Amino acid sequence: MVVVGLMVVSFLMTFVVPKITESLVKKGNVLPWPTELLMFISDMFKSYWLPGMIGALVAMMFFRGVIATEKGRLIYDTLLLKIPVLGSLLQRSAISRFTVTLSILLKSGLPALDSLNIVGKVVNNSLMAQTISHVADRIVEGADISTPLKKSKIFPPMVGYMIAVGEQSGELESVLDRISQNYEEEIDLAIQRLTAMVEPVIIILLAVVVGFIVMAVLLPLLQFNNL
């Protein structure tokens, strides 16, 4: 919806509005300020759309180059987790992926250490992968899975406590599945709520933009008809 709306507005500002405003300017009358503002924005679109696209492409390539490095990716993933709402969703998604993958590997008979080394590569978040690597190091030293998880900042303490219960009861795989299921349900609910809030806002913003364009075009026409 956002992409389509931006494409429509860009088309109007680049091709439709200039033709209409050109005919209005030729009449030589003083134009209302909304029309003047619309003409200014339209001229900006026409003059700078190509440099803007090139600049965006260069910025995108630079960004991809930065996050391709280990340090750049770590900074990027850390910042992502700090974004309100989105960060929480990404954290829950990574934890769900961690628990369900670890459960599958343990059920297949793979040792915990080997399982953690594999899981660290599929969580798609370098900060969490770093934490999982630390957990694996602690296991080599003789610790269990839950203790370093409870001390980490990226895993909620409750996850560590639930895994501790699973380790003590011998039902770690079942507990991991339960954690993953709970987080998946939370993610689905959060996305539904977020979508329900964002869609009306986007519709209103697009309506305001299109409404302003229509008003800016109609005002001088009405003004000239009254002369």
If asked whether residues 134 and 174 sit together in one domain, one would say yes
**14 domain-assigned:** no
If asked whether residues 152 and 76 sit together in one domain, one would say no
Question: 158-197 burial by CB neighbour count: b if 16+ within 10 A, else e?
Answer: ebbebbbebbeeeebbebbbebbebbbebbeeeeeeeeee
> What are 109's two structure tokens?
């008979």
- Local confidence band at 221 (pLDDT 50, 70, 90 cut-offs): confident
- Local confidence band at 217 (pLDDT 50, 70, 90 cut-offs): confident
If asked whether residues 99 and 163 sit together in one domain, one would say yes
**96 domain-assigned:** yes
Give the number of domains in the chain: 2
**179 domain-assigned:** yes
How many other C-beta atoms can be found within 10 angstroms of the C-beta atom of residue 43?
14
* % of the chain surpassing 90 pLDDT: 48
**138 domain-assigned:** yes
For the entire predicted model, the pTM comes to 0.77
Average pLDDT, the chain: 86
If asked whether residues 74 and 115 sit together in one domain, one would say no
Query: How far is Cα 118 from Cα 102, in angstroms, rounded to an integer?
Result: 8
How many other C-beta atoms can be found within 10 angstroms of the C-beta atom of residue 68?
9
Q: Structural domain of residue 57, as residue ranges? A: 51-80
- Local confidence band at 109 (pLDDT 50, 70, 90 cut-offs): very high
Give the pLDDT mean for 201-219. Answer: 85
If asked whether residues 62 and 157 sit together in one domain, one would say no
Identify the weakest region by mean pLDDT among 15-24, 71-80, 143-152, 155-164. Answer: 15-24
